[in-house]
Amino acid sequence: MQGLQNPLLGPVRHIRSISNPFVQILHTGNNHWVCISSVGCSDGIVNLYDSLYHNVISKEAEEQAINLVGTNSFPGLIVVPIQQQKNGSDCRVFAAAFATALVYGVSPSLLEFDTTKLRDHLCECLKGRKLEMSPLL
């Protein structure tokens, strides 16, 4: 991966391909954070990793995904079944855990994170300026 980008960045219109995948944490505009990625996807396909998914993909997340892949080849977000948060405030740390796993080449759908350690782990990673895999159960 080439580095971090501000998750509140507006339209960037970068055409991504299999050879140039992305991982992006997005703010949906509803006090909620998700992760999207084209890692391991066919051209134009974008996976959605949402720890609070309730059969609705936010319009904001879909619009931001379109900005990342371009409008010519975007069929929509594909919801990946992943661990769900058990409260109303862990979406940020889950989005970071999903993004980090993807960067390390591991599908978040295969993982179960230790939610009691996610916040402290992310804080230590940010302090140390190095993202490492989040603690698992």
DSSP string, 2-28: -----TT---------TTS--EEEEE-
Regions of the chain short of the pLDDT cut 70: 1-19, 70-73
Interatomic CA distance for residues 115 and 121, integer angstroms: 10
Interatomic CA distance for residues 21 and 135, integer angstroms: 25
Interatomic CA distance for residues 82 and 73, integer angstroms: 25
| Residue that has been written with the tokens 């580095």 in this structure | 3
What's residue 30's pLDDT?
Answer: 80
What's residue 5's pLDDT?
Answer: 60
Q: What is the pTM of this model?
A: 0.87
